[in-house]
Structures are given as C-alpha cells and as structure tokens.
C-alpha cells in the first residue's frame, strides 16, 4: 500500500496511517479499519478514514467538530438518494453542480465547515432535486 506524506491541518504534525485498534483500543468500532491520524493523537484529535484496499485517505483530517459536521452533511445528502427520487449517481451529479466542484473534490470527507453548511442548507431547500439533476 502506498503511503501519503500529509500533515495534520490543525497542528502541522505528520499524519500517520493507523488501524482502528491502535487508535481507539477497545473502543474501536472496526479494529481493522484504516485511518490517517495526527501523529499526536489523542492529544490532537484529528483523523480521517482511509480506503481499506488502497490505504489512501478518503479526505482531509478532521477534528471532532468537523467530523460531526461531515456526518450531518452526509446524512442530509444521503436522504436525497436513499429516500428521494434520485439515484446515488444523480445525487452526486447534483452535488457537484450545486457546489461547483470537480469530481475529485466532490466528497464530503474533503469538505470544510463552510461547504458542509452549504450542502446541509441546499439539501433542506431542495424539495425536488431531480430537476437540478436532469
Ligand atoms: Zn494534529
């Protein structure tokens, strides 16, 4: 697996790839899951999930507040295609158009607070997103 040399955006320490059991011990929801975490974790509580196959991070390291915000944004977005009329593919197309993002940046794991807030607001305003996606 390829390793990325990235740094924690909060404190500047290197980010290291670690398993869930190494990061969270007995509290790990998935001991075998991969993460990129700040080398100073848990003093600096910043991490992001990594893809199991490639080992690459799914987005940028996030502190607890940003992790909560991304979960909220994902829940708002997922409702569009889980409960709404869109397919998942259409929903991501709508997301890219609504936020003006190229495909490689249109991942909620990469989003900032501001982008999460915008997405949450747009999802709640978008009663008929299928029009935007058409
Ligand atoms: Zn850090």
pLDDT given for residue 11 in this prediction = 98
How far apart, in whole angstroms, are the C-alpha atoms of residue 106 and residue 15?
22
For residue 47, how far is its CA from the centre of ligand 1 (angstroms)? 8
For residue 116, how far is its CA from the centre of ligand 1 (angstroms)? 21
Mean pLDDT of the chain: 92
Burial of residue 128, with CB atoms counted within 10 A of its CB: 0-12 exposed, 13-18 middle, 19 or more buried: exposed
Q: How far is CA 67 from CA 2, 3, 4, 8, in A?
A: 25, 23, 21, 14
| pLDDT of 80 above 60 | yes
How far apart, in whole angstroms, are the C-alpha atoms of residue 102 and residue 43?
34
- 37: part of which helix (H) or strand (E)? strand 34-38
Residue pLDDT, tens place only, 39-76:
999 999 999 999 999 999 999 999 999 999 999 999 99
For residue 15, how far is its CA from the centre of ligand 1 (angstroms)? 8
Give exposure, 90-124, as e/b (b: 16+ Cβ within 10 Å).
Answer: bbbbbbeebeeeeeeebbbebbeeebbeebbebbe
For residue 7, how far is its CA from the centre of ligand 1 (angstroms)? 8
Taking a 5 Å cut-off on Cβ, the residues next to ion ligand 1 are 8, 10-11, 13, 38, 40, 44, 46
pLDDT given for residue 3 in this prediction = 78
| pLDDT of 98 above 70 | yes
pTM for the structure as a whole: 0.86
pLDDT given for residue 14 in this prediction = 97
């Amino acid at each position: 697996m390829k390793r990325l040399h990235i740094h924690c955006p909060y404190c500047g320490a290197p980010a290291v790839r670690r398993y869930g059991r190494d990061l969270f011990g007995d509290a790990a929801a998935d001991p075998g899951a991969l993460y990129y975490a700040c080398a100073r974790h848990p003093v600096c509580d910043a991490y992001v999930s990594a893809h199991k196959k490639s080992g690459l991070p799914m987005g940028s390291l996030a502190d607890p507040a940003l992790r909560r915000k991304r979960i909220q944004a994902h829940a708002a977005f997922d409702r569009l295609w889980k409960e709404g009329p869109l397919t998942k593919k259409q929903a991501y197309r709508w997301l890219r158009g609504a936020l003006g993002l190229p495909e490689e940046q249109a991942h909620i794991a990469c989003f900032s607070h501001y982008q999460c807030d915008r997405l949450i607001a747009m999802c709640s305003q978008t009663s008929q997103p299928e029009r935007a996606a058409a």
